[in-house]
Amino acid sequence: MNSSSGNSTSTVHLSPGSKIGAYCIERHLGSGGMADVYYAIHEGLQRPAAIKVLRASLATDEIHLQRFMQEARAAASLVHPNIVQVYDVGQDGEHRYIAQEYISGSNLRQYLSQGGGVDQPTPPAGISSVSDGSLTAGRQLPLRETLSVLLQVLAALSKSAASGIVHRDIKPENIMLTPDGDVKVADFGLARILLGDDPQLTRAGTTLGTPMYMSPEQIQEGKVDIRSDLYSLGVTLYHMLCGRPPFTGETPLALAMQHVQATVPDMKQFRPDIPASIVELLARLLTKSPDDRFANPSEVLSFLRSHRADDLSRDWPDQTIPFPGVTISGGTGPMQATLALQSKLRQQTRSFRRNLLSIAASIAFLLIAFGVGAVLAFSTPFELFESSEQFYADVAKKESAEEQYRAALLSTDSSSQLTKWEAVNYFFPMNDEVNKINRHFAGLASLQLSRAHVERGEVEDAKKALRDTIDDRKMGEIIKALAHLQIAEIEQSAGKQKERDEAIDHALRIAAAQAELNSGDLPRLDDNVRLMDQTIQDKWFRGRESQ
């Protein structure tokens, strides 16, 4: 997570070098409505993180504490490439904090405020180019860039919707961009968990959100569901294309009432080049009644794909589109220099791969034209990788499994998420008979590999990675317990309660054996469970209490 600005004065003062949990604070990033955000480094893993610390003035307020922990539980349950990942939740003295993935880049608001973009026509008579006293008209994004952002945000919202979570504050500030074109939705702090929500957290008088992007039903404190997020996404989409949101006002109340009552200005007056399908999309996203909108993000994705071969064919992004105006933020130290270099190398690699694919396609066409296609039809599709050594040639081998694991954690290249975890076990096998530490980190890598497979929808591959870990005679028992618990998560998502309970029972038996040995790892195991599904937590801690 990157910096977020706020007008409130911070009441939490953590100076550079101070410690909170396992993290060393390096600098203050910004302030939000309920928390201050710091850039920090996990001392054990040497992993950068954004630490959100609840303000001291709110730490004694039970409602704010519940909302803060609700944010942590909601966000921690959402593991997806397009969602800012929560690493840890904890308390250190008087400080309650959430440790999150640090995104080195800009948010969409910052990107839109820059110059450039498409050529912007002069606004028609009666239309001001300035929206209000605090927001001037910004850049209008090319449709190809806009679609790249939109598709990735929809992927994130599809994940949250499947988990029964509403973000409640979709806006450009909460959409993070990297120079490579990756998009991540941040700050589920206003999320309302549809299943098991505490009504006190969303009672009258505590309406949450940002008026410029807020849905009519949220303003009127009616029923809020995923369709409210789609409305806010529609406002954000309008802003990306037109350089300004559809409604402006002198006061938050005046602005909010426009969402409830006013007609959305015709976007064609700002962007006459926009295809008819996008105009229709926005009209359906920005209707006043949620019943007239798309029912969920998957429907929006289906609508867009139905026009992929029509008026969106020229601008459809077949891969992520780099954002040339997004800069590596957060300082000028060696970490930032390394990230900047990695970003440049990844862009060069992607360009090389595109050229290579183009050449390969041309060669394949010529071969088929000369009648050898039948022979190739029986060839192995990945003959380019003649050996494991070649496959992992782009992954630098480290001195130890621990360093290899840390390098994989620090990698920001989502396109190689499987390879980087597989490489840990390739270079430092789990069945290493000599080095116990290498086995431990190879086991941790197998857990990460399983998560990567789940994110890609490859459930059976995920289970296989976990079973290989469990079946390894030399693997540590705590790693095996975590593997069982990850299987429980997978079965829970599939609605397989019997298989879920069996996996939890396996993990509990390991915990009981470790308790008899007075293992010091059990608190860490409990902490991991606290980041899992609530059903798994309940069964786990009931089982632990009975041991």
Active site residues: 169
How far apart, in whole angstroms, are the C-alpha atoms of residue 284 and residue 157? 17
DSSP annotation of 140: B
How far apart, in whole angstroms, are the C-alpha atoms of residue 42 and residue 99? 9
Task: Tell me the three state secondary structure of residue 49.
Answer: strand
- For the chain, the maximum distance between any two Cα atoms, rounded to a whole number of angstroms, is 79
| C-beta separation of 231 from 247 below 8 A | no
How far apart, in whole angstroms, are the C-alpha atoms of residue 259 and residue 290? 13
Helical segments of 321-435, H only: 334-369, 373-376, 388-391, 401-410, 417-427
The dihedrals phi and psi of 329, each to the nearest 5 degrees, come to -105, 170
User: Two tokens at 125?
Assistant: 């008579």
| C-beta separation of 416 from 437 below 8 A | no
Cα torsion 37, 43, 46, 48 to 10°: value is 0
How far apart, in whole angstroms, are the C-alpha atoms of residue 520 and residue 543? 18
Backbone dihedral region for residue 117 (phi beyond 0: left; psi -120 to 50: alpha; all else: beta)? left
**CA 404 distance to own-chain centroid:** 23
